[in-house]
């Protein structure tokens, strides 16, 4: 019987740890969201981190292809 109580206690501890861990996740997400600078592509409007895209003439593009297309056809 004490073995069952021990098992129940372990399950409760794991459950509480998991619960507090999950509660921390959204905080980390908003924190990284503030650090990560999301910018829209001038051509297709897709938002992506600044370091993942291409910047040219003060404009931001999601890919080299969109930079080329947009350069060929200015607004
Ligand atoms: Zn694009």
Q: What is the pLDDT of residues 36-61, one digit of tens each?
A: 789 999 999 999 999 999 999 899 99
Length of the chain: 75
Give yes or no: residues 26 and 53 share one domain: no
3-state secondary structure of 59: strand
Percent over 90 (pLDDT), the chain: 61
Give yes or no: residues 3 and 25 share one domain: yes
Q: Which structural domain, as residue segments, surrounds residue 60?
A: 37-75
Give yes or no: residues 44 and 74 share one domain: yes
68 CA to middle of ligand 1, Å? 10
Q: Which residues surround ligand 1, an ion (CB under 5 A)?
A: 41, 43-44, 62, 66
Task: Please answer whether residues 65 and 56 qualify as being in contact, where contact means their C-beta atoms are separated by less than 8 angstroms.
Answer: no
Residue 6 reports pLDDT greater than 60: yes
Provide the domain count of the chain. Answer: 2
pLDDT grade, residue 29 (50/70/90)?
low
Burial class (CB in 10 A: 0-12, 13-18, 19+), 59: middle
The pLDDT value given to residue 64: 95
73 CA to middle of ligand 1, Å? 14
Give yes or no: residues 75 and 50 share one domain: yes
pTM exceeds 0.85 for this model: no
Give yes or no: residues 14 and 47 share one domain: no
31 CA to middle of ligand 1, Å? 26
């Amino acid at each position: 019987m004490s073995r069952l109580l021990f098992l129940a206690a372990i399950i409760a501890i794991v459950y509480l740890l998991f619960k507090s861990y999950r509660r921390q996740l959204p905080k980390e997400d908003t924190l990284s969201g503030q650090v990560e600078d999301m910018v829209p592509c001038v051509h297709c409007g897709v938002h992506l981190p600044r370091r993942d895209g291409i910047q040219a003439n003060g404009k931001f593009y999601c890919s080299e292809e969109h930079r080329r297309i947009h350069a060929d056809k200015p607004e």
